[in-house]
Amino acid sequence: MYNDTSKEILSGGCLITDDYGENLYNRQRWNGEKMKIVLINASSRKNGATSKILNEFSNNLSSKSNVEVNLINVSDLKLEFCLGCCQCYKTGICFIKDDAEIISKLLAGADGIIIGTPCYASSISGQLKTLIDRGHFVIEQLLMDKHAVGVVTYENADGGSAFKALKKLFIYSGSKTVGKLLVKLPFNSDPIADEATKASIKKQSDKLYNSIVNKKKSVTNTIIHFFVFNFGIKPFVLKKGDLYSGVLDHWKNRNIDIKQ
C-alpha cells in the first residue's frame, strides 16, 4: 500500500494523495462544496458483516449528488505498531514510513467519519487500535468539529463495550455528534439480508448527512469534550512546551485556541 514516491491510496475507486487532508484543513467544514465522508472498515475481512454494513452506508450516502465517499479497508494498509517514542508530538508527523500519516490526513479533510469494527474480547479490533495509536486522534484533536458514526458487529455479547470505546474516541478527539449502530448476528451471515438492519443503516446515513448540513452539535458531547480537553489534554500539552510543538501546530490548523 505505501509508496514513498506517490503516497497514494486506492479507495472507493478514487486515488487520494497524502496531501488531500492537508489541503482541506482550513476550509469551512460545510460550505456548499462536496461533502467528504470517510468510512473505515476495521475488520480483517473485506467481505464480512462489518464490511457489508459499511458498503450499505456508502451506497446510501453516494446516492446524494453532493457527497463524496471514500471507504478504506484497514486490512489493505501497511501499519506498524506505535513505538511510543513521542517524536510525533514534536514534529507533527510519525517517522515510520507506512500508511498511518496518509489516513490521518484523509480523516483531517473529512466532514463525516464512519468507523466499523467487529467486537473482539469486548472491545475494538486490534487493527483499529493500531490505527488509533498511530493516527494522531486524541492529543492532536484529529476529529475536531466532525460528525461520526460508530458501527459494531458481534455474535455473542458485549458489543456495547466496543461501541463505548469508539464513542470515547470520537468525543475525546473533538467530534460534534456521534451516531450508533450495533448489529448482533451469527458468524458468516449477511446483515443486509435483514430489512430492519438495512432500515437502521438508512436512518443513520440520513442522520449523519443532516447533522453535517445543519451543523448540529450534541450538547452532552460538547460538555464532555470541554472538560476533557480544557482540564486534561490542553494543560498537559502546554506544560510540555517545545516537546509538543507539533501538536500545537495541528491545533492552530484546526483553529483551536492554544492559550492557557
In the chain, what are the domains? 8-20+32-201+210-253 (3.40.50.360)
Average of per-residue pLDDT across 212-224: 96
Is residue 12 pLDDT above 60, yes or no? no
How many Å apart are CA 126 and CA 119, to the nearest integer? 10
Average of per-residue pLDDT across 208-236: 96
pLDDT for the residue numbered 127: 96
pLDDT for the residue numbered 148: 98
pLDDT for the residue numbered 165: 97
pLDDT digits (tens, 9 = 90+) for 178-203: 999 999 999 999 999 999 999 999 99
Is residue 172 pLDDT above 90, yes or no? yes
pLDDT digits (tens, 9 = 90+) for 65-85: 999 999 999 999 999 999 999
pLDDT for the residue numbered 32: 54
pLDDT for the residue numbered 31: 52
